[in-house]
Each structure stands twice: as C-alpha cells, then as structure tokens.
Structure 1
Amino acid sequence: MNYFKQILRFAKPYRIYALLNIISNIFYALFGTLAMVSLFPMLNVLFGKTEKLREKPEWTGLLDIREYSEAYLNYYVTTKADQGNDDVLIFMVILVVSMFFLKNIFGYLAMYFITFLRNGSLKDIRNELYKKTVELPLSYFSEKRKGDTMARISTDVLEIQHSFLSILELIVREPLSILFAITAMLLISPKLTLFVFIFIPVSGFLISLIGKRLKKHSDKVQKEQGFFLSIVEETLGGLKVVKGFNAEKIFGKKFQDSTSRFYKYSNALLNRQNLASPTSEFLGITTISVLLWYGGQMVLVEKSLEPSLFLIYMGLAYQILTPAKAISKASYGVKRGNSAAERVLEILNTTSPLKDKPDAIEKNDFNNDITLENISFKYEDEYVLNDFFLKVPKGSSVALVGQSGSGKSTIANLVTRFYDVNKGSIKIDGTDIKDLKKESLRGLMGLVTQDSILFNDTIKNNLLVGNENATDEEIIDALKVANAWEFVKDLSKGLDTNIGDSGSKLSGGQKQRLSIARAVLKNPPIMILDEATSALDTESERLVQSALENMMKNRTSIVIAHRLSTIQNSDLIVVMQKGKIVEQGRHDELIAKNGVYQKLVNMQSLD
C-alpha cells in the first residue's frame, strides 16, 4: 500500500477526471441495482400478483420504505390498469429499458473519464523516470544494465497502469454496486442476505491465500524481461563483433536461456493469477445454489416470500458476482503492481550525490583559472588519483599524458563533474565546482571524447545539441572550423542527411569532426578533449588535429592525449603515472630531461 500512495501522487493533476469518474460510477452502481428492481412490478403484472390499490399510500419513514415502495407501485399499476393493460406493460418495458440505458451511459462515462487519468499518470511517470535517469550520475549506471532501465520505463510503468491505476476505477464502482445490491436484498429479505455476508469474507480469505506468492513471481518476470532486453541492446550495439567472431550461437543461447526462464516465471504467475476468477465464481455459484434451496423453501413451503420478489432477489445476488470477481482480480493486480512499482520507485527515489546545493551559484563566465587542489579519487576501493595538484590558467593549453590507467580520463570526468572528488577540491575562478549549478558549470565547457557519440538523426540536429538556437550559417561556420564542411556539402541532403545509428553511415574521422563541430557551435570558454584523435588513421588524424587547433584558439584547453605528436605545441604537458604527476613542462623541456616523457615518445616513434 505504501507503493500505491507514492504512485497515487501522479494522479493528482488529473483529480477532476477522478471526481467525474467517481460521480459516474455512483450513478452506474445505482442504476445497475434499480435496473434489476424495476423488473419487480413488471413480473407482478405478468404473474397477475398486483394488489388492487386505488388510494395513494402515505409516507411513514425510511423504516417502512419497502412496504411504501410496493404499495405505491401497486397503486400506480392499478391506476394504469384502469386505462388498459397495454399501457401498463408499455410503461413497465420503458421503465426497465430506461434503467439499463442509464446504467450503461454512466458506465461509459466512468471509463471515458478514467482514461484521461490513467494515460495522463502513465505519461507523467514515464517523463519523470526519463528525467531522473538523465539526472543520475554515470556511477549509478556503471553496474546497471541498460535493458533493465528500459524495461522499467516501458513494461513496468505499463504494469502500474494496468494494476494500481485500474484500482482507482474499481475502488468506487464495484463496492458501490455490491452495497446498493445488498441494500436492495436486505429490503427484500434480511434472512436470505445473511448467506451473502458469509460468502464475501470466506471468498476473500480463500482468494488472498492464492495470491500470497504473486509479488515474488511478478518480480522474477519483470527482472528477467529487463535481462533479455539488455541482451538485445548489447547484441545490436556490438553486432560487428558478434558476427566477426561467429558468436551468434553464444548470444543466441544467452537469449534463449533468458526467454526460457521468462516463460517459466510467466506461466507460474499467470496460472496462479488465473485461479482468481474460477475460485470466486465457484464460491459465488455455491452461494447462489444455497440461496436457491433456502429461498425456494421460503417461497414454496413457508409462503413468506413472493415468487416475483424471489426472482429479483436472485438476480441481485448474481449481480454481486461480477464486481466481487473484479475486486478479487484487482487484489492480484495490486500484488503484481507492487513489484513493478518497487522497481520504478527505486529509480525515482534514488538521491543523486551530484545534486545541486540549494544555494548553488549560477556562473556564466570564466576569468582566471581552473585549479585542481590536491584531489584524490577512487571509483571503487583503490585510489586512481592521489593528492593531485594542477593549475590551468585562462587561455592556456594543458596536455595530460601517460600510460593507460594513469588517471588522465578521470581528470576530464572530475572537471566536468560527472563524478565528485573524494578529497580536495576543483575550483574555477576560486569557486568550488560543487558550489556551482551543474548546468552552468557544463555550460562553460565543451567536450570531445574518444568515442564520437552521435545520435540517429540529421547532421543539423546532432550539431544543435551544442546550441539549439544556432542558425544554418552558424552551423556551416562550425563545420568549416572542424574541417567537416568539405564532406557535408557533398552529401545528397547536406545538413539534413541522416547519419544512422551512432553515425554508422560516416567514417571514424568524419564522426569525430562532427563531434568537434558540435563543441565549436557551443562556443564555450573551456574545452575538454579526451583522446580525441586516438582512434583515427593518420590522414584523418591530420584533419582532426587541424580542426582541434582551430577550435582551441583563444580558449582554455585540457587535452588528454594518447598520441604525443598532437600535443607538442601545448603550453604545459603533464606526465602522469599511477594517479600522480611525475613530470611537467613544455615539450622541449621534457625531452631535455630524458625521463618518462622521453620514453613515451620513443615508444610511439617505434610503433
């Protein structure tokens, strides 16, 4: 129920539809009962049981409502019968048809209004899930499967709609249908109604026994769905490797094993869930049978109940079965929804360690320097940076070099605040970046990574990620700075050319130049280049390096370099080893030292 309360907040903006649904359901339940009761005078007329009553009865209070209603109907039918039997029957038929018509009209209106509430809540849950997913730090997803997150946004949210939000519909209509029917049944025969009061708690108890393990089964189904969606995502992402290593069978087996488990868990879940309807129906029919036997005694032996009233009573008793079955199914839905809600709320309730402080500062300019003051950082147990100090003055180009694992890329992740330092601080113009709003911090920076992260969209829309208000002329200027216009202008649709999934229609060099153009279009004062040329061939590297030099003019740059030939003109080269600075200086100074940097240069010249 705690999960239900948390999910219910998404229904609040649509409470007007909930109110209209409740009003419609009240009338639906009322007219549903009146539709059955309205058959009573018609049956009396058909069986010739109508008592001739020519004086209008007097109202004596709620306690005598049954006697008053019966007397008034007899009076009305007697008055109409004096005008001819045809008029009586026509009136009765119109009365019955009208009651059923009104019942169905309000039933439709109830479903009409609840549709806006359910789909609106579904939309808002998905939007908040996506927003939260994007807000959470990279560390949150380092051990998570993408497919599992996708399953939570798609199927788990849908399960919440089918379970929790369906209950909003049942919570009024079905109990009211039962309440109105039982009220009418009590008025007809309190004795007979005792059996119904025995049936409802007994059936509820038996159904709850069946549904106890539903949440466990449902949780397994949803987790397994996330697992095989992850396999699909990984297979599509690494299709070249899968095909190149003839690994189709390996991944096929992993997928089939997962779907087999999904098949097994789904069967266990649905078979248990499917017990609800036949169980409640069997218990209902058992009660109806007892009512038929006992009521038959009252009609035929004791003569204490009229046949027409008994028929109406049995109709009302049977009418209780449908809402009772719906309530039993809803109880199963809650148990299934609990599991889905738990998975969805796990993301929504996660507090980001990188959340902006309440008094975070907006910073829109860069004036002096970036300072990494004795920072230490670890991803898990071992520190990858130890007491690291570096100052990057405005307008300078600082290159970080070293072997893999020395902590170069970690610097880029920390300066952009994808992660927070464990010790020390990173300051921009003397202000700790933890005191800045993340949006304004990253607004000061442009990022070009080793992997060209492009989206399945047009060239224009990929660049507009850097500046969504840029004009076509500004986009073309950025492409020219990045040496990319030379190939973009020759494409069939130019800027409107779709580049495919992750830019699959372009070469590595072309993708990287588009990434540079995107950073140029953003026009930030600080540029972070994380091994931007390491994955390129020599010709592409020359073009990209030229583009990078164009971009870095009059900007502060932190360059993480794999190929040392690309950073020889840097103002400062920092040589890193196991998270510490072992050498620093300009290219010529470091060569003259004949130390670690010289060894790295010699190793690359031999390659």
Structure 2
Amino acid sequence: MSKTRKHLRPQYSSTTLIYLRLIKDFARPYWFKLLIGVLSGLIIGGAMSAVLRLMDLGLNAFELGVRSEAPAHPEMLPAPDQDQQPAVTLSQNDTSLTAADAAIASKNKKNKLLARLNTLFERFGININLEHEQALTLPVVILLLSILFGFFALQTLGTLVNKYCLRWVGSRIVTDMRIALFDKLQHQSLAFFSKHDVGQLISRCTNDTNAVESVISSSIPELITAPIFIAVAAQFIIAKTREAQLQPQGLLMILFLPLCILPVFILSGYLKRYEKRVLERISLVTSRMLESFSGIRVIKSFKQEEFELERFTKVNNNYFRSLRKAILADVLIQPCMQLTAIALAAIFVLVCFHYQISFATLAVVGYAAQQAYKPIKDLAKINASLQKSAAAAERIFQILDTDTALPIAENPLRLTEFKHEIRFENVSFSYLDDDNLVLRDLNLSLPKGSLVAVVGQTGSGKSTLANLLARFYDPCQGRILIDGHDLRDLELESFRNLVGIVSQDTFLFNDSIADNIRYGKRHASMSEVINAARQANADEFIDADPQGYERSVGERGNLLSGGQKQRLAIARAILKNPPILILDEATSALDTVTEHLVQEALNNVMHDRTVLAIAHRLSTIKKADCIVVLERGRILEQGSHQELYELNGNYRRLYDMQFAELHEQEEA
C-alpha cells in the first residue's frame, strides 16, 4: 500500500508546476489584493508608455526648436561667384536644392511636432495653440515637464501599490504554507516520526520555508511588472525604428534582446539541482546540532566533545561544498547577461551611426532599451532565486503530499462514555509492515473498573500493547473493541477524550506549571488545577516556590526533578479525568520519600478507572485484578498474582528475578 502511494505521488521536476501549485493552493484566499497588484502593474505600464512618448516628443521638439531656423534663411547660404557662374551653375543649383529641401523637411517635422504638442495640451484641457514655425518657449517647456512629472508620479504610485499588495500576498502565502506544513506534521502517525529524522523535519519547517519566503515575498511584484515593461518598451522601439525607417534593424534588436537571458536558461538547471543538495545538507547540519544538544549530558559524561565536533565539522563541510557549487552557478548569471547586453547595445549604436539617426531618437530608443533590459535582468535574477526557492518548495510539498495519518471512517461514531469493556480480538501488529510481528494473535479483555498489569521482559510487546489501545497505531490483523465498537469506526477525538496516558518518559512543555497541568483540559479553572496538583502530591513543592503555579518548568521540564515531573504528569491525567488510563510506570530510581509520594499519586489517578498498566512497581502488580505475562508478542499466562505465582511458570520466574529485591525492601 505504501509503495503504491509513493509511485503515484506527483514529482515536481518543473519549477513552473511548483509555483502554479503554490498559487493554486495558497493564493486563492487573497485574490482581491492580488488583483489590485496586477491592475496597478498595468497602470505602471501605461504610465511608462506615456513617459516614453513624452520624452520622445520633448527631445525632438527641443532639438528642432534650437536648430530648425539656421538653414531656413537665404542669407546664411554662400553667395554665388560671378566669375565662375557658367562653370558651376549646375553644382550651385544642386546645393541650393539640397539646402532648401532640408529646410522644408525640417519645417514640416517641426510643424508636425507642434501639432502633436497642441493635441497633447488639448487632452489635458490646456489651450495654447502653438503656431506653425513657432519656437519653444520656457512656459511650454515647463508645461511639458509638468505633464512628464505627473506620469512619473503616477508610475511611482502604481509601483508603491503594486509592491505592497503583491509582497503582502507573497508573505501571506508562505505564512500559510508554514502553518499547513506544521499542521500536516502534527497529524502524521507515530510511524512517520519513527522513520524521519526530527532535525531534518525542523529544517524543512525553518530553512526551507525561509528560502521560499525570501524569494516569494520579493519576487512576485517583479514577475507581474517586468513582462509589462518589456512589452511596452519593445512596442515603442519598433514604432520609433519604423518612423526612422530602420524597421528591420529595430526588429532584429527586439529579437536579439532575449539573448540577454540565455545564460539564465543554461545555468538555472544547475542552480536548482545544487540548491536542492544545499537544503539536504543543511538539514543534516540541523539534525546533527539537535542530536548533540539533546544528548549533551551523555557527551560530557563520556568526554566526547572533540568527537562530536569532528562529526559536526564533517557534515558542515559537506554543506559548504554543495553551497560553493550553487554560488558559482548563481554569480555567473549576471556577468554573462551584462556582456551580452553591452554587445547588443554596441551593435545598435553602430547601426544608428551608419544610418545617421538623430540624437533625440537615439537617446529615447536607448532609454526604452534600458527600460526593457532592466526587467529582463530582474527576471534573470528572479529566475535564479526561483530555482533556489523551487528546490525548497519541492521538499515542502513532499511532506504535504505524505499522508500517514490514521484512516478515518466515513461516518465515525462519536463515543461520549465508556460503559462495559475493552477487548483485543486476535490482534497482531508489526511496525515495519512485514512478517516481523511484535504482537501475535493476542486476545485480552479489560472490564470496566479493572486494573490489568502487563509484565514481561524488554521487547516482549508491552509498550506496543499500550500504543494500540491509545490508537497511536492500528493492528495489522484483528481488532480492538470498546463497548463492542471497533476503534477504527470511532471518531478519534471523542475516543482520545476517554483515554488518559501517564508515560514513564514524562514530557513537559516549556511553560508554567499551571499550563502543563491543564494541557489536557485547556479551559480548566485554577481551582481545578490546584485540586489535581493536590491529589498528585505536587502541591507541596509548587507552594514552596515563590512563583507557585506560574513558575516555568523549562525546556522538557529540565528545571524540575524526576519525581516532580512524574507528579505533574499524574496531575495532568487527574485533571483530564478520563475513564480509561494507560499507565507506563517509570523505571527510574527515586528516593524513599519521593517514591511514596509518587505511588500515592498513582493510587489516586488509578482509583475508579479502567487501567492498563505496564507495571514496574510491586504494589501495582499485587493489586492488579489481572496480570498478563507477555513474551515475544504472545500472552503466556494471565491471572492474579497468587494464581500465577502458584502456577510456578514464567510469571514466577520473572517475579523472582525482577521483584524479589523490591519485595525484600517492602518487608524491611
């Protein structure tokens, strides 16, 4: 079954597919802000188009306003030489015609520009009516610059709205992705966590999501506006080159402009592959650090700090080697683009020089080309970042597509109380889905109100039996019934509300004592918390502290002793008040006074409840209604202490080996 799922799981080799899914899954709730960002991008493009046309109009008008009068006056032309008049008449007439034609062409061009200025001003409700052959005046220049400034301001405002809305959407997408990733991990089965390194999972929640966030939040605005800028600039360049009768050359310039991003397509594949390897290596670094800090007591007790440093240095250097390759692929992109762009610009300048294009046309086309090159350069830079981010997003989607959660029935039954019995029927179980069974054909009954103690050597299946009753796992064969209902047919939340667990591995959260006690009943009153602590014999050490119930227990309860942690775990179970209790007694040695307090607290929590106890205390075993002896996943014997002891079988042998010393201590 698991192999089939793995085979059917989609592979995200395409960066485009990864980001399409990112938008589909996480951007939909924010469509309005996304729409505003896109519309503001269109406004920016429109303002840029107007700016280019105004610059073209202004530069050409200024150039003609300064020079158009010079060739128009006859006195500026050279006087004919009377002595050589017959010999040079044809040449003289040709010169006069050429100068006259230039003057007429210049006058027509100027009149056309004046007409365009009149049309422009009329659109803004300004009636100046510039006359033909009129030179530009300072008020006209100021008015033209004011309109140009207005469009620049509109472009700036559009950019502000565009960047804010789209960056907001990008950051929100990644925030929701991080929440979805954490939620998915929270609902995975215990089998999932037994197969995955916790440090690497933490790395996916931190390093991978940070990699996606740094790119998405900053790249979406450019991804929207860059194509608009390129399209506007390309359209303007084509129009100007057609006007200057350079249409083929202009089209070639547009066609060769994408050559600037050729290095991107060549190097981006390498970059994504290297970046994925970088993320895998940094997760190993995180895992190594987490393991070392968690086992710091063992490291210090064996004085293995240098050995751990060697192991950390090895994985850290492997990370650096992968990072070095990714850096090289990244830094090569920009220089290659710049060299290509400079070569194309030089070719265009040579073409303009050869065809004697005016300075105004060259300047405005150069500005338009720069406006097109910048977003192309930005897209190349973004593409490099997107390749890095895609590698991280792909690793995140691998987790989001992994579903190891326990199956839920179509119409689960909500169970609100426990009335009769819990029954194991022919239950077999394996952690690895193979023939290596941990429990084999197990049958067991727990009547309501009974105490069933499970004993056996290490590896006999005691903890697995408790895990199955809590439905941390489902049996491979057989079924577990509560009041005749299969656990798999029950609503998981309602069933878990009926079960309390006190584990020997006491886990406390880095929070106050009060919040740790009320963890199973989040809205419990302070009086309920105090009452539970009193029944668990925890009130004495709590009241002795100046901070009382508000005292922080530290990470994993490290600020408390072992006995104090055990009593808080018992208080947590008492406050929840479940009818079914799974008790895994601690094997750690406690002093006599603490052992007595813990045992008394256990007696309180077990009172009037159905208890499955993995027993390590002699008192628990002796008071059990039924003792179950497990060996290699099978029930060898079951009955009361006296019955099993007199049977002189496996229980008596186990009792004599493990509990004789405890028996002598109790008698003493």
TM-score (norm: length of structure 1): 0.92
Instruction: Tell me by how many angstroms 1:96 deviates.
Output: 2.5
User: CA offsets, 1:454-491, max 9 Å, x none?
Assistant: 01110011112110111111001101111111111111
Aligned residue for 1:211, secondary structure, equals helix
Is residue 315 of structure 2 the alignment partner of residue 258 of structure 1? Answer: yes
Structure 2 CA distance for aligned equivalents of residues 25 and 278 of structure 1:
28
Structure 1 CA distance for aligned equivalents of residues 49 and 338 of structure 2:
20
CA shift in 2, pair 1:469/1:412, >3 Å: same
Structure 1 CA distance for aligned equivalents of residues 385 and 54 of structure 2:
35
Aligned residue for 1:136, secondary structure, equals coil
- Determine which of 347, 363, 376 is the counterpart of 1:324: 376
Point out where structure 2 has 5 or more consecutive residues left out of the alignment.
1-15, 70-110, 122-127, 242-246, 663-668
Q: Which residue of structure 1 aligns with residue 54 of structure 2? A: 38
Verify the 8 A CA contact 1:182 1:193 in the aligned structure 2: no
Is residue 437 of structure 2 the alignment partner of residue 421 of structure 1? Answer: no
Structure 2 CA distance for aligned equivalents of residues 91 and 278 of structure 1:
41
Q: Which residue of structure 2 aligns with residue 513 of structure 1? A: 567
User: CA offsets, 1:145-190, max 9 Å, x none?
Assistant: 1121111111211222334565532332101100011111111113
Is residue 248 of structure 2 the alignment partner of residue 248 of structure 1? Answer: no
Aligned residue for 1:161, secondary structure, equals helix
Structure 2 CA distance for aligned equivalents of residues 431 and 414 of structure 1:
15
- Determine which of 192, 206, 224 is the counterpart of 1:154: 206
Instruction: Tell me by how many angstroms 1:313 deviates.
Output: 0.7
User: CA offsets, 1:427-473, max 9 Å, x none?
Assistant: 11111101112211111100010111101110011112110111111
What is the identity, as a one-letter code, of the residue corresponding to 1:494? G
Is residue 554 of structure 2 the alignment partner of residue 500 of structure 1? Answer: yes
Instruction: Tell me by how many angstroms 1:519 deviates.
Output: 0.6
What is the identity, as a one-letter code, of the residue corresponding to 1:73? L
Instruction: Tell me by how many angstroms 1:271 deviates.
Output: 1.8
Q: Which moved more, 1:171-180 or 1:41-50?
A: 41-50
Instruction: Tell me by how many angstroms 1:231 deviates.
Output: 1.5
Instruction: Tell me by how many angstroms 1:403 deviates.
Output: 0.6
Q: Which moved more, 1:187-196 or 1:217-226?
A: 187-196
Q: Which residue of structure 2 aligns with residue 232 of structure 1? A: 289
Is residue 54 of structure 2 the alignment partner of residue 2 of structure 1? Answer: no
In our comparison, the structure showing a higher alpha carbon Rg is 2
Q: Which moved more, 1:68-77 or 1:457-466?
A: 68-77
Verify the 8 A CA contact 2:428 2:477 in the aligned structure 1: yes
Q: Which residue of structure 2 aligns with residue 72 of structure 1? A: 116
Instruction: Tell me by how many angstroms 1:537 deviates.
Output: 4.3
User: CA offsets, 1:90-133, max 9 Å, x none?
Assistant: 11221232222221221111111112201211111111111111
Verify the 8 A CA contact 1:147 1:226 in the aligned structure 2: yes
Q: Which residue of structure 1 aligns with residue 260 of structure 2? A: 203
Instruction: Tell me by how many angstroms 1:25 deviates.
Output: 1.1
Q: Which residue of structure 2 aligns with residue 56 of structure 1? A: none
Aligned residue for 2:522, secondary structure, equals coil
Verify the 8 A CA contact 1:572 1:586 in the aligned structure 2: yes
Verify the 8 A CA contact 2:261 2:377 in the aligned structure 1: no
Verify the 8 A CA contact 1:448 1:532 in the aligned structure 2: no
Is residue 345 of structure 2 the alignment partner of residue 288 of structure 1? Answer: yes
- Determine which of 491, 495, 513 is the counterpart of 1:437: 491
Aligned residue for 1:483, secondary structure, equals coil
Verify the 8 A CA contact 2:630 2:637 in the aligned structure 1: yes
Structure 2 CA distance for aligned equivalents of residues 43 and 468 of structure 1:
73
Is residue 447 of structure 2 the alignment partner of residue 447 of structure 1? Answer: no
Q: Which residue of structure 2 aligns with residue 370 of structure 1? A: 422
Is residue 335 of structure 2 the alignment partner of residue 267 of structure 1? Answer: no
Aligned residues: 588
TM-score (norm: length of structure 2): 0.84
- Determine which of 251, 257, 276 is the counterpart of 1:194: 251
Structure 2 CA distance for aligned equivalents of residues 37 and 261 of structure 1:
55
Is residue 69 of structure 2 the alignment partner of residue 15 of structure 1? Answer: no
CA shift in 2, pair 1:359/1:196, >3 Å: farther
What is the identity, as a one-letter code, of the residue corresponding to 2:381? K
Structure 1 CA distance for aligned equivalents of residues 535 and 369 of structure 2:
81
Verify the 8 A CA contact 1:456 1:501 in the aligned structure 2: yes
Q: Which moved more, 1:352-361 or 1:286-295?
A: 352-361
- Determine which of 656, 660, 668 is the counterpart of 1:602: 656
- Determine which of 462, 468, 485 is the counterpart of 2:516: 462
Aligned residue for 1:48, secondary structure, equals helix
Aligned residue for 1:420, secondary structure, equals coil
CA shift in 2, pair 1:504/1:75, >3 Å: closer
What is the identity, as a one-letter code, of the residue corresponding to 2:345? I
User: CA offsets, 1:311-346, max 9 Å, x none?
Assistant: 101110121111001111222233222211111011
Q: Which moved more, 1:385-394 or 1:597-606?
A: 597-606
Verify the 8 A CA contact 1:564 1:601 in the aligned structure 2: no
Structure 2 CA distance for aligned equivalents of residues 535 and 116 of structure 1:
55
Instruction: Tell me by how many angstroms 1:534 deviates.
Output: 4.5
Instruction: Tell me by how many angstroms 1:251 deviates.
Output: 1.5
Aligned residue for 1:492, secondary structure, equals coil
Instruction: Tell me by how many angstroms 1:49 deviates.
Output: 4.4
Verify the 8 A CA contact 1:31 1:102 in the aligned structure 2: yes
CA shift in 2, pair 1:589/1:68, >3 Å: farther
What is the identity, as a one-letter code, of the residue corresponding to 1:526? I
CA shift in 2, pair 1:90/1:383, >3 Å: same
Instruction: Tell me by how many angstroms 1:541 deviates.
Output: 2.4
User: CA offsets, 1:373-413, max 9 Å, x none?
Assistant: 11001112411110011000001110000111010000111
CA shift in 2, pair 1:340/1:376, >3 Å: same
User: CA offsets, 1:264-292, max 9 Å, x none?
Assistant: 21121122112222222221121111111
Structure 2 CA distance for aligned equivalents of residues 76 and 474 of structure 1:
79
Structure 1 CA distance for aligned equivalents of residues 333 and 409 of structure 2:
50
Q: Which residue of structure 2 aligns with residue 525 of structure 1? A: 579
Aligned residue for 1:401, secondary structure, equals strand
**1:301-316 alignment runs, 5 A limit:** 305-316=357-368
Verify the 8 A CA contact 1:122 1:161 in the aligned structure 2: yes
Structure 2 CA distance for aligned equivalents of residues 266 and 559 of structure 1:
52
Instruction: Tell me by how many angstroms 1:84 deviates.
Output: 7.2
User: CA offsets, 1:540-566, max 9 Å, x none?
Assistant: 222111111111111100000123343
Is residue 187 of structure 2 the alignment partner of residue 135 of structure 1? Answer: yes
Q: Which moved more, 1:67-76 or 1:381-390?
A: 67-76
Instruction: Tell me by how many angstroms 1:45 deviates.
Output: 3.8
